[in-house]
Structure 1
Amino acid sequence: MDKKVKDKLEAMKVHPKESYNEIIDRLISVSYDDEELSDETMKDIEESLEQMRQGRTISNEELKERLGIK
């Protein structure tokens, strides 16, 4: 195992006897969402991607201005 990876895993321990396997399992658990996206969500994503392809976007600055955020 690469020393940098080992050092990072060591730093992530929640208790001194936690194994690397337990750390990796914990990381996978929090980073993986096994819930499928609904048909409505998939449709919304597809529409958003199409809007992006058509150049129908605004900058963060413009959005902040529209929402009155500084």
Structure 2
Amino acid sequence: MSQTTIQISQELQQELNRMKLFSRETYEEVIWNIIEDTKELSNEAKRDIAKARKEIAEGKAVTLSDLREKYKIQ
């Protein structure tokens, strides 16, 4: 993989640092995460979301509170 250097302001660098999911994450990984987050959802993902919303509306979903109560977890 070839590499290049880009110039960014200190303010942007600080913002990228805040966006890191873990301390050793690279700026490239942070930027790819941003790009991925801004892309439109695939048709499959949209169908899955619609299906999940329908199941929730039909009462087929189980809440975290229900699971905690069922398994005696606090």
TM-score range, shorter chain: 0.3 to 0.5
Calculate the TM-score normalised by the size of structure 1. Answer: 0.44
**TM-score, normalized by length of structure 2?**
0.42
